[in-house]
Structure 1
Amino acid sequence: MGHFTDMCTAISMNPIAREGYWEFLAGVTRSLNISYLKAVPIGTTVRIRATVVQHGRTMALITASMESRDGKVVYATAEHHKVHVPALPEYARRMREWRERRGIAKL
């Protein structure tokens, strides 16, 4: 759940990301608190919902839950606090070039 939560919460920041503001996978984890509520049966397909609760210039809070496909069973919940760390100029340049080569929209 920790890995999935980290990835899904980072992706949930994409709609607000722009150059210089929460770019490049939404910063780093300050704290990640996961509560496991129920075991997921083997072979079960789950849905992870992530919601950006608050975002500012340097800090963000995202909540997430792992649920059954129909949303009736909650297997785990999470609270993820993130800190924006500006990308190094060289890394930012390479990421822009990589996106341009693939025709991916700018941030």
Structure 2
Amino acid sequence: MPTQTHGRLPPELLQKFPSMSPVERLNALLSNKAPNDQRFTSQFLESECKLHDFKQLSPKSALVTFAFKVSRNYCNVSGNLHGGAQAAFFDLCTSLALMSIGQPDSWLNGGVSRSLNVTYLRPAPEGEELIMECEIVSMGKSLALTKGRLMRESDRGVISTCDHDKAFVPSKPGWKL
């Protein structure tokens, strides 16, 4: 198995990552294929989640929009997007938003969750096209607050919302960006 220094990016891309634009970073993270990555999030990031829009609101805030279709893999027994999957997708996508504008030694690894509060409003059936907006509300040296909103693409009906409080921690050895 080839050695990787990070769970998402090969070493040659890691070197360029800090100097990439936010959109280049997001596209790199979403398009990188890691066939030996067995985490359940890999399929979602590699095949299903697409960058829809990016707006930098200030040096430390941004609004990043992702698009994906509700896959059967993530549905509950009623045929709707599972609440746990929604929480995981909020966790992933708000972290990607932080990584898009992070700086060396600050947020390039997405940090770790302190709290993730999801409010579920309506179901999202299998096959539904969805849009997820992720806003970086505040990004300091060690703490960040992000908000997310998952909506139907067709009419922007809100499926769920989240508040995601994150803490920056250095990457473990071998994973440093």
TM-score greater than 0.5 by the shorter chain: yes
RMSD (Å) for aligned C-alpha atoms: 1.4
The amino acid of 1:27's aligned partner reads: G
- Say whether residues 1:15 and 2:100 are aligned partners: yes
- Say whether residues 1:83 and 2:164 are aligned partners: no
The amino acid of 2:88's aligned partner reads: H
TM normalised by structure 2 equals 0.49
Percent identity for Structure 1 against Structure 2: 29
Partner of 1:62: 146
TM normalised by structure 1 equals 0.79
Asked which structure has the greater RCO (Cα within 8 Å, sep 6+), the reply is 1
Q: What 5-or-longer segments of structure 2 have no aligned partner? A: 1-85
Shift of 1:11: 0.7
The amino acid of 2:93's aligned partner reads: C
- Say whether residues 1:33 and 2:117 are aligned partners: yes
C-alpha distance in structure 1 between counterparts of 2:106 and 2:151, whole Å: 30
C-alpha distance in structure 1 between counterparts of 2:143 and 2:155, whole Å: 29
Q: What 5-or-longer segments of structure 1 have no aligned partner? A: 96-107
- Runs of 4+ in structure 1 over 6 Å off: none
Task: Work out which of the residue numbers 99, 119, 127 in structure 2 matches 1:43.
Answer: 127
Map Cα deviations across residues 34-84 of structure 1 (whole Å, 9 max, x no partner). 000001123211111100000100000000011011453000000000000
